[in-house]
Amino acid sequence: MSTNDALLEQILARLNSLQVSQQALQAKLDSLTTPTSPVSPPRFEPSTPGRQPGSPTPQSLLLSPSTSLAQIVSSPPIGTSAEQIISDKDRERALYPGRVLLTTYPDQHGIKPYPLQWGTSDPSNRGPVICSRLPTSIKQRNAIGAHSGSYSIYRALSIAMGTLSPSHKPDYSKTEPPVPIPPQPAWSDPHKIVSFDPWGHLVPQVFKREIEELGLDVRPSIAVTKAHIKLSEMDESARRGDIVVDGHIVLRTRPLKNPDGTDSDMDPGVEVTTSKAAVEPVWYLPGVAERFGISESLLRRALFEDTGGMYPELITRPDIKVFLPPIGNLTVYIFGNPEYLTDESKELTLRVHDECNGSDVFGSDICTCKPYLVFAIEECVRCAQRGGVGVVVYFRKEGRALGEVTKYLVYNLRKRGGDTADKYFRATELIAGVKDMRFQALMPDVLHWLGIKKIDNMVSMSDMKYNAIVQSGIPILKRYDLPEHLIPPDSRVEIDAKIAAGYFTSGKKIAEADLIKTVGRTWEEAEH
């Protein structure tokens, strides 16, 4: 045995000894019954600014042995003064009476995660995803992270401010999906769906016992609903006759109103019926690691380090295999009959779209994102009107998952350094270090969740998206890109750079030597 091996064995033995000692200490602490220190009641002055003489004292702020946690942390009535509000220290004691628990360890005294077996066909055997730190659930948590991704921070703020009781129990009655997304064979394949919980939209139904009888804080991570969408671009398409009003998928909008409330003679345009699902990320770490061809331990270490050590249990709890990351979710829009998604005899049109706030919402013409999105929706509608079904999946991966700040910095560099197609990808790499971080390997999960087995038409020029879907076992019969006449002039830099880099195109090929000829608009041209 080498000296290094012997030293490593000594270190591991010492670490194991320390962990055993820590667990023993934890057991002793848990066995102690320490009475909770009483919370000092707030003092009320006889004359309080903001309260009319003779008005009743806000009794909801007085603390007594029977005062509930919700009463303690609830917001004071509007108009109460600073003297009437319980101190932040009192609020903190009421919300978090125990000592700070930074992390836990496997087999620690009192810690017993609720059984969860990813990829089993029966939800009762699979088990619910539990990441709550409420007293009813904290010792049975089987997942790291928090529900609602980045929005969990706003929940924390609401609790700290007293506008939300941490023990609020949601009422899920009448929230069940109006559109059925039934179990598919892929739900029970631990290799097919690893980036979200396929049972997430059925939580209140399939885990009713865990919620109502066991009192566990189990929450839906998917919600399915129905809606009408209205886009001015589709109004124009309907006026041109490119979209047909069929009274089922495409409807004529109700008459517009004049300022005096009477019906206007203006064309109201159209609206489109759709079914949609919001999906929060729930990562099965062994499956995610396998999908990217790396070890689970390396994935966990990278997640721990590059989130600033935000989740220590990624390191200390290798027995917990599920992680709810603080990232954006995805939304699925279905045009036509959702039951056709699993019917291979029906035509299916797909667009996988990654978020671009500047273009999708505000119409920036430096890229083709909004034209692509609108064109794809229209293609999905036309497919549904032919008797098929259309699907648009919208991922929150702003700026190729580099973020909007990085994207705008790249825009500045491009416009100052000569916005030519030959420098397009290089500009991103100079700032971000990579040209794309979307990593489409996890993207096909949602298609398997829907039960899609083949795609007739895919509106995309991305080889990464195409390859990820096909390699996951779903064939694509036809792919096509955005028609030439819909490409904004200033976005030619992006399109030509992508074509020269090998992206799919149904138009003319572009050589690397030609890229210098494609030049974007300068800032000066837009200033008046």
The residues annotated with a catalytic role in the active site are 436, 438
Strand partners, 476: 455
Longest pairwise C-alpha distance within the chain: 92
CA dihedral 141, 143, 148, 149 (to 10 degrees): 140
Residue type, 249: I
Distance CA 75, CA 250 (A): 46
User: How many Cβ atoms from other residues are within 10 Å of residue 240's Cβ?
Assistant: 8
Strand bridging mode 270-279 / 283-284: unpaired
Strand bridging mode 322-324 / 283-284: antiparallel
* 285 touches 322 (CB < 8 A): yes
Q: Which of 490, 445, 487, 452 is nearest to 468 (CA)?
A: 445
Running DSSP on this structure, what letter comes out for residue 201?
G
Distance CA 202, CA 107 (A): 31
Distance CA 433, CA 438 (A): 14
Collapsing DSSP to helix, strand or coil, 276 comes out as strand
Instruction: Give the helix/strand (H/E) hosting 322.
Output: strand 322-324
Distance CA 311, CA 315 (A): 8
